[in-house]
Chain A
Amino acid sequence: MNFVSEFSVNDFLYMLKGLGNSIILTLWAVFFGTILGVIFGFIRSATGTLLNFIMGSILDIFRSVPLLIQLILINAFSSILKLGYSPFQISCIVLAVYASAFVSETVRSGILSVPLPFRRSARSLGLSYFQTLRKIVFPLALRVSFPTWVGVTLGVFKDTSLVLWIGIIELLKSSQIIITRTQEPLLILTFAGILYFIVSFCFTRVANQVEKKWEKYEL
């Protein structure tokens, strides 16, 4: 009896559903990760050496340990403490913290890249510390950090492929399931690759448009 069946439209929809999961996960993770990253980055740019060093070292841990292990550890931790988080929530948390480590670094260097004279002129004109921050520093820092942030977001999107390990059916897992049934690895993986590529490409295009709009204000 032949258990291998053909690749059908249903399968394609199944893959799209997996892709949808990847995208939703990415959106949540990047949302929280960016907020956290901005906070951490700002703190790191404004504090003295000791706090900076400690924060930096802790955030560095998330970039020096494989993401897969982070997922496994938090998953295990959650079941030990009987927290009952779903795999989706765990993936979100882990990816968000992971992303925040990278975002904090780029926010920090973005803020530090704003030349001191700019801030000085603003303060001399009477703007308060926070006004200077909002109107002068952040916009300029944003310009500098944006390309890296785009890279981090794309990275998170690609890293969602790892969450299959803790049971979420994202694009790659759904592909694998179909491959097992249809025995057409090349065809399906090529589709999956194209899907990843399209999402990546579109996002990069939009990001480029945004950057172009900002270029108008270039000095």
Chain B
Amino acid sequence: MINIIDVHKSFGKLEILKGIDMEVEKNKVHSILGASGSGKSTLLQCINGLESIQRGKILVDDVEVGNKSTNLNSLRTKIGIVFQQFNVFPHLTTLENVTLALKTVLKKSKKEAEAIAVEQLESIGLGDKVSVYPSKLSGGQQQRLAIARALAMSPSYMLFDEITSALDPMLVGEVLDALRNLKSDGMTMMIVTHEIRFAREVSDKISFLHEGKVLESGMPNDIIDNPNETETIKFLERSLK
């Protein structure tokens, strides 16, 4: 379980997160909606320690992320994160992208690592692109590679930071399908997204972030069909046009 307790985060003088409280239960899908600048991406990057927080606590399976004695590197193997800008490693083949962390972090042998990698790549539909360099892959394929790379580490949690925002509309579908499959496999996921309909379809819970605070939180039907707050209504109106 991920516990986010009264988290405040500033960049210099600018406070981005102004007291976030959230709980993500095991095997559940939790989506986060909100306008640009509301702090959604920052929140995700605080969970795996890429960004530090000024106040509050983040606990992943009862391990505090901000605590100096926490081994961040090993904690990060439990949390998989996929970014908007794919961030595949351009100088490595598809297979090598996936096996790298398996070998260097999880200390798996080359054979083991490749077996795991091939399995992941096949289940995400990239089985035939194993020796190809990312420059030869489409945007959707690169994003799926990024997902496979994160999944190969067998994380307990997967965080998705607007992973379809940088994609051609044609390619969004294949990535969302991958997420649907993950959900049916029981993965615990936090999804930051602009795809409202998709969020409604897969989520167990939705939180709406506005100006650094959780304005509303609840079941997808409640939030999207019957929003309470004005800001939520405005946001949904704009997004669902």
Let me know if chains A and B touch directly in the complex, using CB atoms closer than 8 Å.
no
